[in-house]
Chains A and B, each alone.
Chain A
């Protein structure tokens, strides 16, 4: 049946007013599914990368080396607290283009590992980049990100090293990603796909999925204190998490708990009798659902704390008393 002309016209106009079917960018999908998705991710990375790399710097203090990122024309550098160290300490800042500038450490937070450095005489053309100023908001789990840094120290022929990965977990203090980090990367920037700094590389463990970055809300929480060159929490230039309890096992996720892969020699775990292949199920009354849960639980404790560890050995439940050590 032929529709009256006026109804056809109105229907056509209404169709035009419908919002276009929302196309999700490849990096917002749960996972890229096709080569086209991978290409879209690559295109976005390469769009923001030049600015990200230009703003990433090498920091040298005495014999040690780290990385940082330039965030203001006034010469402010975000870095890790364990890199910049004692307030007032002399720092050499080496730009991506090779220029060497002088500066000094401002404040740091030894617990979160945030740190600031101030360039003494910033040149007018300092290549800076924006950083996330949120006090509460965190990147989402699975969000794609870009890590830039100088693992192993400055290498002029190599330049900075780029990694692309995803957020594995996020708290207000710490982001964990699958962007592999190494010594020398500390203090370097983690970017989102808009080229905004969302994290500062902080620490790793020998497990390949443990790459930790200081989250931006941690910087925001202490901003004024850091800017006034004060030290918060923890020893200056030393271990960023002092006074942390230590058990001494290397575990992996198991459906029954945390499966012990290795027990460190002479560790509190070894002394208490924990063995390889044990499955740790409880620490005191807290159920342990996996390797991370165990790490998180131990992290909450103080050295010398005595805890009851419930584990499965050869299918039988055992309870061992462990006196935790100090990391």
Chain B
């Protein structure tokens, strides 16, 4: 080793420019050919990956879920900008399929994950500079598995009294700008029913709420100063609602993906990506597509949906996509 400096130069680190050149040899061309940038108006909202030669692009649905899909634009291979439209969504997998609007050579072959083990290098396409997408590498770090859905939260702390005698569960704190506050829940309210079912114990109430997905609505019945009322609350993601109470690991991780749970099967790797790199491609050292990056869980753990699962989902959605294209 010729290095004598007191610290390793940044260009020689695992995410440094010298290493990127080696990873580039593996998958640089493929990444350039298939990685697209998606914009909502002028705001960059994430990456997408071309998954078929007739121009279907896959991206992370919860990132692309904008109020006005009419503003969505794609900057595709060769930096061509064009309007795009949503062809299909797969909420369960958090995927959305967009139309590139033209034919293109995706630039890769489909790979499979059976050769991916702990320590196997993978290369991710990342939101690059103005010269186009670039790549970063890292190893597969953990067992491929399901990531169970973390339930929705309403944004209250139930730290006080509860029980049948008390008549419900006391709300001791309401998270600022959380779903409960938006619905009108106040500190001191005593909740005694969820969706019409009586609940008097704190643990049972938490379980009931958790069983709903973020984004769904529940009705809570509560007592406030001897008055009874029913409020509708739309559940949020834990990370968005309790940002002040973020645990230390989340604070140390910087920006993470809002939806980072609820995936049937993921490859886990350590390529240092940001939430906006999700929807981008993951390759093996031979430049074959092995996954689509779907979530940054924290600074150590990154998830990708295996390529074979993407293919299967594409087939499931083929009819829907064809109809959306007017075929």
- Measured CB to CB, the residues of A under 8 A from B are 28, 30-35, 37-39, 41-42, 45-46, 49, 53, 140-143, 146, 151-152, 157-169, 176, 178, 180-185, 204-206, 208-209, 292
Contacts of B254 in A (CB 8 A): 206, 208
- The stretch that binds A, out of B104-112, B139-147, B206-214, is B139-147
- How far, in Å, is B108 (CB) from chain A's closest CB? 15
- The stretch that binds A, out of B8-16, B221-229, B314-322, is B8-16
**Contact call A164/B13, Cβ cutoff below 8 A:** no
A30-B3, A169-B7 in contact; A159/B142 too (CB < 8 A)?
yes
A35-B25, A206-B254 in contact; A42/B120 too (CB < 8 A)?
yes
Contacts of A208 in B (CB 8 A): 254, 272, 299
**Contact call A49/B119, Cβ cutoff below 8 A:** yes
**Contact call B119/A46, Cβ cutoff below 8 A:** yes
- How far, in Å, is B124 (CB) from chain A's closest CB? 14
**Interface membership of B6, Cβ < 8 A:** yes
- How far, in Å, is B216 (CB) from chain A's closest CB? 26
A142-B8, A161-B301, A178-B15 in contact; A152/B249 too (CB < 8 A)?
yes
**Interface membership of B1, Cβ < 8 A:** yes
A33-B22, A38-B137, A208-B254 in contact; A45/B3 too (CB < 8 A)?
no
In the complex, what distance in Å separates the CA atom of A39 from the CA atom of B23?
11
Give residues of chain B (251-294) contacting chain A, Cβ–Cβ below 8 Å: 251-254, 268, 270, 272, 285
**Contact call A162/B25, Cβ cutoff below 8 A:** no
**Contact call B12/A182, Cβ cutoff below 8 A:** no
**Interface membership of B74, Cβ < 8 A:** no
A-B CB pair tally, cutoff 8 Å: 145
B300's contact among A30, A166, A180, by CB below 8 Å, is which?
Answer: A180
**Contact call B145/A157, Cβ cutoff below 8 A:** yes
A151's contact among B7, B139, B285, B301, by CB below 8 Å, is which?
Answer: B301
Q: Smallest CB-CB separation from B6: which chain A residue?
A: A169
Give residues of chain B (199-254) contacting chain A, Cβ–Cβ below 8 Å: 248-249, 251-254
- How far, in Å, is B256 (CB) from chain A's closest CB? 11
**Contact call A142/B12, Cβ cutoff below 8 A:** yes
Contacts of A28 in B (CB 8 A): 1
In the complex, what distance in Å separates the CA atom of A182 from the CA atom of B285?
27
In the complex, what distance in Å separates the CA atom of A257 from the CA atom of B226?
64
**In the A-B complex, the 8 residue pairs with the closest CB atoms:** A31-B18, A45-B119, A168-B8, A169-B7, A46-B119, A162-B141, A142-B3, A182-B300
**Interface membership of B35, Cβ < 8 A:** no
In the complex, what distance in Å separates the CA atom of A165 from the CA atom of B252?
19
Contacts of A35 in B (CB 8 A): 22, 25-26, 285
Q: A140-B3, A163-B138 are in contact. List 9 more A-B contacts (CB 8 A).
A: A31-B16, A35-B22, A45-B119, A141-B4, A157-B145, A161-B268, A162-B270, A164-B119, A205-B252
Give residues of chain B (1-56) contacting chain A, Cβ–Cβ below 8 Å: 1-8, 11-16, 18-19, 21-23, 25-26
